[in-house]
Chain A
Amino acid sequence: MSNIETKTMHEKDMKKVSSQQRVGKFVAKFLVYAFLIIMAIIIIFPFYWMLISSVKSLDEYKLAIPTLWPKTILLSNYVEAFNQANLGTLFLNTMYVGLVSTLLSLVITVISAFAFARLEFKGKNALFAALLATMMIPGELFTITNYATVNTFGWMNSFVVLIVPFLVSVFYIYLLRQNFLQIPNELYLAAKVDGTSDIKYLWKVMIPLALPTLISITILKMMGAWNSYVWPRLVANDEAHQLITNGLRNAFTESTGDVNIPVQMAAVAIVSLPLFLVFVFLRKYIMKGVSRSGIKG
């Protein structure tokens, strides 16, 4: 009798404990979700504010109590922004610089990485280590001399000045070399025996196998052109060669005080759209490239 009683007592306790645990777990889950969702809202809010402000009329934007959803959707802000900032020309300039520099950069990166990964020559490791060491130096240090150099070359205000100085990225060479090294050497030797040329082997075997890395490099390079600001402002600030970020900042020099914010936000939205599309469709490659690089753009 007493034995049975203690047993049921024990079971009751167990039930109590487990239900307490369940409540605790539920509360913890709830807190985790609440925290994440609040943070997500904070992260998203600037994008939301940009979009709704970009379609408001100036009068509506200036209301003392802001509207969280626009009363009227004014798409003419976009037309005005496009014209005011001359976004068409800026877009074409940036695409041109981005495509040409990506293409040339890929060629240089592939053949350099191939040499470092597959060919044997004296001083290879020392040279590779020296290249890696330059990655530690902040880019600003190079800019001072490069500014004088491109001036001497007579490259000021041209597309060349926006493309050539940044064609070689030690980091991309490093990334691709690591990728090439994973491809077994036997394949290369077999191809040699068959009399396949290096270029053919590169094109038929190594490039397809390293394609994900090449796509990551392409995206990061294109984003770099889209987001570059400092160098273009220094060396190609004329209208014919201006890039998009620079043009955007120049067109709207005032960002505080009594300025037409809806039009500014429309311009910002136009500039952000391609990046957003790249993000939506190519997120995997960006994340892969980024997690290995630690550099923006």
Chain B
Amino acid sequence: MVESKHKWKAWLYLAPAIVLLLIFTVWPIINTIRMSLLENYSTMGFVGGARYEFGIGNFKQVLEYQNFLTCLKNTMLLCVLTVPISTFLALLIAVCLNAIKPLQRFLQTVFFLPYVTNSIAIGMVFAAMFNMVGTAFGTESELVITAGIINNVIEFFGGTAINWINAGSSYWANIAVLVIYTVWNALPFKILILLGGLQSVNKQYYDAAKVDGTRRVRVFTRITVPLLSPMLAYVVITGFIGGFKEYSNIVGIFGDDMGPTGDPGRLNTMVGFIYDALSNYQGRASAAALILFGIIFIVTMINLYVSKKKTHF
């Protein structure tokens, strides 16, 4: 009797969560697949009584769409650049932090600071640091009032100022700024995880290496990296997942236009593509979302496969 009463109670306790999940999680999954398989589907049209044929036209359209290919290229490029750079830097910082005693806690706090920031707000700070104030770029009467602090530093060391994000800036300059901002933003989480991993590593391995007189570099590649491999796999996988969903960092620096003045959409990403299509072309947006899910799924599986082979636990 007590048992049956419990069963009834369990479902009562779970009811709010289940109802909300059915509406806002389960139904969207089913509906996304449905919409993606109806040619040129739009919710407005559907409500208006239009009928849509079954087919894979949305996927074809998305893949042939120049805009989507630009988004795909930008997303991939940012992933491929930011994940290795941030992982490597985070590893280096974590190992160094683990090797010191004085100032360790203080520096650890400093390195965690970017985590608790608002990526739109701090994106605006980065924009300000790279921004050139002036008029008529690229013309005879070009007038630069201030080149921005980053350019000031470059000029101080004898370089020439670069148009990073303003009208007429080059694609690679934009990408460089985004990579710097994304890495800055991604470091705290990775350092936190890797340092946590390092601190739980058994000291005996290092003592044995010391007795054997093993060189530092060798200790790093033969002991530290293998022992850290589960954490490294974790930060790489989450890094790729986050990278494929890149969006708000770009809005922070370039605004909703997703590109420098005069060239909107140049830096758009896959998530940005989905949001652009979301209110009018639900079929296309759904197809793009499923493609994004497919890519994330495949990349995660590859990462898991590789890390299973390489991880030592």
Contacts and interface: CB of A to CB of B under 8 A. Distances in A.
A253 B274 CA distance: 21
Interface residues of A, number: 93
B120 A229 contact: yes
Nearest to A124: B10
A276 B112 CA distance: 11
B125 A283 contact: no
Contacts of B26: 134
Given A143-B278, A256-B165, A278 B116 contact: yes
B24 interface: yes
From B17, B96, B125, name the one whose CB has the most chain A CB atoms within 10 angstroms.
B125
Contacts, number: 275
Nearest to B239: A294
Interface in B124-145: 124-129, 131, 133-135, 145
Interface string A206-229: 000000000000000001001101
Contacts of B35: 144-145
A146 B92 contact: no
A53 B127 CA distance: 13
Given A33-B100, A39-B93, A49 B187 contact: no
Q: Is the interface of A mostly helix, strand, loop or mixed?
A: helix
A287 interface: yes
A198 B123 CA distance: 47
B111 interface: yes
B206 interface: no
A61 interface: yes
A48 B105 CA distance: 20
Contacts of A119: 6-7, 9-10, 13
Interface stretch (B51-59, B69-77, B218-226, B245-253): B245-253
B162 interface: no
A64 B145 contact: yes
A191 interface: no
A33 B100 CA distance: 8
From A164, A198, A258, name the one whose CB has the most chain B CB atoms within 10 angstroms.
A258
B25 A142 contact: yes
Interface string B186-209: 010100110010000000000000
Contacts of A148: 43, 282
A22 to B, nearest CB: 15
B268 interface: no
Q: Is the interface of B mostly helix, strand, loop or mixed?
A: helix
Interface in A17-52: 28-29, 32-33, 35-37, 39-40, 42-44, 46-47, 49-50
Given A43-B114, A271-B121, A278-B116, A264 B28 contact: no
A65 interface: yes
B255 A253 contact: yes
B269 to A, nearest CB: 11
Interface size class of B (residues with CB under 8 A): 35 or more
B116 A279 contact: yes
B145 A290 contact: no
A290 B115 contact: yes
B29 A137 contact: yes
B24 A142 contact: yes
B249 to A, nearest CB: 11
B97 interface: yes
B113 A265 contact: no
28 contacts: A32-B100, A33-B103, A36-B103, A40-B107, A43-B184, A49-B128, A62-B145, A64-B146, A119-B10, A122-B7, A124-B10, A142-B29, A143-B278, A144-B28, A144-B285, A145-B31, A146-B28, A147-B279, A223-B116, A229-B248, A234-B279, A255-B127, A255-B254, A256-B166, A279-B112, A290-B189, A291-B192, A294-B238
Interface of B: 3, 6-7, 9-11, 13-14, 16-17, 20-21, 23-29, 31-32, 35, 43, 89, 92-93, 96-97, 99-100, 103, 107, 109-129, 131, 133-135, 145-147, 149, 152, 165-167, 184, 187, 189, 192-193, 196, 216, 234, 238, 241-242, 244-245, 247-248, 251-256, 260-261, 271, 274-275, 278-279, 282, 285-286, 289-290, 292-293, 296-297, 300
Interface of A: 28-29, 32-33, 35-37, 39-40, 42-44, 46-47, 49-50, 53, 61-66, 108, 111-112, 114-116, 119-122, 124, 127, 131, 134, 136-149, 151, 164-168, 170, 173, 198, 223, 226-227, 229-230, 234, 245, 248-249, 252-258, 261, 264-265, 268, 271-272, 275-276, 278-279, 283, 286-287, 290-291, 294, 296
